[in-house]
Amino acid sequence: MPAARTGGIANFWRTHGTALFFMLPALTVTVVLFLAPAIITVGLAFTDTSTATGLSRWGWIGGANFEQLLRSSFTSIILRNTVFYVTTTLILNIALGLGLAILSVHVRQGPGRFFRALWLLPRIAPSVVYALMWVWASASPPFGIINQLAAPIGIEPRAWLSTDPWLIVIAINGFVGASFGMIVFTSAIQSIPEDLFRAARVDGASAWQIVRRITLPLLRWPILFVFVYQAMSLLASYEYILLTTDGGPGLYGTEVWSLWAFHTALNSYYGNLQFGLGAAMATILVLIGIVVSASLLRLFHFGSLVTEPRVEIH
């Protein structure tokens, strides 16, 4: 038997050795940068590790961090905020990205490219600069570009970040996120065979009918990708909220789950960072991410989208 096992291992290396060798760099990166932190985070979630315990005086506390989150009245508020933020921003992201792609593809190539480049500016600008521009634009009266623009159309000047924080937070994230969808959708639209559009025009289809009956059905895969990717991104993103409202105003007015985890584990005003509790929050976030992405993939029939075509054309 040992000889057979040795032979099996030798066979395995003969068959898969080269593949494993070439995969080693990627595997190392995945294990060191993704898998190990994930395992450490889940482990930390069951400890009381904080600045006050240091790395030498911590202890296992079972599910006490999760129990504390269950008992906290803040949990439901922040969960509700997270669902609202992700849903509304995602809708804005996809709709705006799709609209921009369709519009910019259907104008002449030069203006279309210029228009798309313009929408990419927020993405290439540093987050802090982009957020700061919004903070200044939405400053309280008599300041703020938004107030200057809104006053002539009868909108009362206000401190937008205090009175309408979600509007600003969603706009900031929505506008910067739309450029990602715009690029993906533009590329997908341009790869649709021109014959289909010509045939539709010959048959007398209107522009709306072409978009509705040809473009959108053929964009199902990129829409699914952008939808899932952006949903996950939004679940984990908090930097623009941190830089504008910092989770306020009022009782966690715009605090989302990832920002709560950041505030708890990494940004204590008084220096006692609660790594264990923050890790419990992060663990819950990952679980939410898995459930949401699984639901979205099922909703969009991901399985049928990745099925190999029944007819191969050579």
Task: Tell which positions 217-246 bind another protein, by CB under 8 A.
Answer: 228-229, 232-233, 235-237, 239, 242-246
Nearer to another protein, 210 or 288 (CB): 288
* CA-to-CA dists, residue 128 to 15, 159, 170, 242, angstroms: 51, 20, 16, 10
Nearest distance, CB of residue 171 and another protein, angstroms: 17
Encoded tokens for 223: 């829409």
Using CB under 8 A, pick the residue from 274, 279, 281, 283 that binds another protein: 274
Using CB under 8 A, pick the residue from 50, 81, 186, 283 that binds another protein: 50
Task: Determine how many CB atoms are found less than 10 A away from the CB of residue 132.
Answer: 14
Least Cα distance to 174 among 97, 246, 114, 289 occurs for 97
Least Cα distance to 238 among 217, 224, 222, 259 occurs for 259
Nearer to another protein, 7 or 250 (CB): 250
Q: Which residue shows structure tokens 């952006």?
A: 230
Nearest distance, CB of residue 116 and another protein, angstroms: 21
Nearer to another protein, 92 or 139 (CB): 139
Nearer to another protein, 115 or 302 (CB): 302
Using CB under 8 A, pick the residue from 12, 212, 250, 299 that binds another protein: 250
Nearest distance, CB of residue 123 and another protein, angstroms: 13
Nearest distance, CB of residue 19 and another protein, angstroms: 14
Residue 270 touches another protein, criterion: CB under 8 A: yes
Nearest distance, CB of residue 286 and another protein, angstroms: 6
- Of residues 6-35, which lie at the interface with another protein (CB under 8 A)? 33-34
Encoded tokens for 281: 């929050």
60-89: burial string, b at 16+ Cβ within 10 Å, e else:
eeeeebbeebeeeeebebbbebbeebbebb
205: left (phi over 0), alpha (psi -120 to 50) or beta: beta
Nearer to another protein, 88 or 162 (CB): 162
- Of residues 93-122, which lie at the interface with another protein (CB under 8 A)? none
Own/partner contacts of 294-298, CB < 8 Å, gap of 24 or more, are: 296/224, 296/227, 296/228, 296/231, 297/224, 297/228
Encoded tokens for 162: 């205090």
Task: Determine how many CB atoms are found less than 10 A away from the CB of residue 263.
Answer: 20
- Of residues 124-143, which lie at the interface with another protein (CB under 8 A)? 127-128, 131-132, 135, 139-140, 143
CB 174 within 8 A of CB 89: yes
- Of residues 54-93, which lie at the interface with another protein (CB under 8 A)? 54-57, 68, 71-74
- Of residues 165-224, which lie at the interface with another protein (CB under 8 A)? none
Using CB under 8 A, pick the residue from 10, 36, 38, 95 that binds another protein: 38
